[in-house]
A and B are shown apart, each in its own frame.
Chain A
């Protein structure tokens, strides 16, 4: 047991990826750097097509985290920062992206990125980040129509889920699957406060609840909160989920049940591995391309 407590259940996989395509100096190569409260993501685009990206954990220093993510994305591409025609910073730490030509809010970037990943059908984007939850309505070009944000409470955010992973000693990347391993969906917990969960979840476990059931009851409650946010902004099909929690099947599938809708599957995710956690960085790189082209014309 002593070793178990040392394990970092909250720790998620940092990785980078390069697409099998070529680039030349004549191409418009842009980057988006999305410094979130928990994860820093950077994406490189060649002529507006995803080429490479990197995902790392945000450290205590935003400029360093931005640099780390961008270096990670550039790794094995043969590119250097000097080859990037335009860099857009976004996310919680966007004003602290030293190499950026411009900072744009993550709401606009996630909207644009969702439009890029899933195409013009997307009208509602649920972005669940490390420290906030946003429901964004967008038009067919990926422009923001309206949005609602909850950044006051950790329930359902990536940070909140990390606490849960540690609490229940379940690796964070398994949390979604494990929350679905219940025969019957339990009632959602009435109190979603992550700080209180530390004692309440222990109480439920002591009462004989399985970890799966505790996790299901909390995940359900968090999905209800997210579904409410989507309803308040005004749900319009099609719905997609971006941000780190898009990988939590426990959350996504419950939102689908509560709203009675299906989220769009990830076409490109299957084909060439686009990651909805990078949606903001991809959107930023795309917006960067448009800004670069505008500047060239002027």
Chain B
């Protein structure tokens, strides 16, 4: 249950049989019910077939149904290692928060760092800059890859970053170059956060922002390695919660 979207995953005998998402809006509870219903329909299952619900994400307190909760870090670690067994560092960049988790081969979390309460290190940064640039969010990444160089902008604050982008527009910098500057700035923030944790390969990137090719390219450059990205990176938190829920069912809950 993220700040922007709610993602639901249905797990049957350890296999994903349904996944769906909905905009959280002002009613994350209702959005969750929608996403779950849709995912269950895909799986040809009914609500009553579900043995255990586990909720994770920043809005998990508003989860419907009788449920347990899973911390976002535990969910990332569990699902990250399940999808990519060599994963030891999992970076999750969402709409309003970024975090990195260090874990062992069983997907158990050892340590984590988090950036919250500041938009500069999260997807909100890219969104704000896309607005300032009058470029569609999904076009930012592909555009940035066409840049030949980057102009530095203020990475520490969205509000200051916006002013910097406006100055670059006035200086008639090309849009690809400004897009690249945005991703570089954001990757800078995220990589300095990860360095506090220690870069422990393999590094896996998940969360909605992992789908942005521009951010991935900048982060790879900044970290000097190639991060691995699983299929459906935005569902990783939900998958982790589902995997942990499965364990709770087996545990005889």
A binding-site residues for B, Cβ under 8 Å: 37, 60, 131, 151-154, 159-160, 163, 190-196, 203, 206
Contacts and interface: CB of A to CB of B under 8 A. Distances in A.
B117 A196 contact: yes
Interface stretch (B35-43, B162-170, B173-181): B162-170
B26 A154 contact: no
Given A153-B157, A193-B119, A196-B117, A159 B163 contact: yes
B159 interface: yes
B160 A193 contact: no
Contacts of A160: 159
A190 to B, nearest CB: 7
Given A154-B159, A154-B160, A60 B26 contact: no
A60 B159 contact: no
A96 to B, nearest CB: 13
Contacts of A192: 117
A168 to B, nearest CB: 16
B249 interface: no
A131 B160 contact: yes
Given A153-B118, A190-B117, A206-B26, A195 B158 contact: yes
Contacts of B160: 131, 154, 159
Contacts of A196: 96, 117, 119, 124
B139 to A, nearest CB: 21
B159 A194 contact: yes
B119 A60 contact: no
A60 B170 contact: yes
Contact of A60 (B125, B128, B167): B167
Contacts of A206: 26
Nearest to B119: A195
Interface string B219-235: 00000000000000000
* Closest 7 A/B residue pairs (Cβ): A195-B119, A154-B159, A195-B158, A152-B156, A60-B170, A191-B117, A194-B159
Given A191-B117, A196-B119, A153 B156 contact: yes
A208 B11 CA distance: 40
